Amino acid sequence: MKKLLKKSNEFALKQLIKAQAAMRNNRGEGYIDTAVKILIAVVLGALLLAGLYALFGDVVMPTLTQRIRDMFNYNGGPR
């Protein structure tokens, strides 16, 4: 019985030491760091998307629309 009690005390002590080491451990990545990274990625993505919409809406699409109209309104030139 003493052996069993001694083994259980040793096991509990080892587990306590492991738990204390885990609590003192400050390595790794926290939730706040991850949240900030995700927030930065979302904001940069939104800015990039807004820039592309502005570029395509103001520069590319009017030119493209005019070129398509010119292609389909081709008269064939003078004969």
Q: In this model, does residue 73 exceed pLDDT 80?
A: no
User: For residue 44, what are its two tokens?
Assistant: 């940069």
For residue range 2-32, what is the model confidence (pLDDT) as tens digits? 888 888 889 999 999 998 888 887 776 678 8
Name the DSSP letter for residue 27: -
Name the DSSP letter for residue 28: S
Q: In this model, does residue 75 exceed pLDDT 80?
A: no
User: For residue 25, what are its two tokens?
Assistant: 């451990």
- Residue ranges per domain, the chain? 2-72
- DSSP calls for 52-73: HHHHIIIIIHHHHHHHHHHHHT
- This prediction's pTM: 0.45
Burial class of residue 39 (count of CB atoms within 10 Å of its CB; 0-12, 13-18, 19+):
exposed
C-alpha gyration radius of the chain:
34
Q: In this model, does residue 79 exceed pLDDT 60?
A: no
Q: What pLDDT was estimated at residue 11?
A: 92
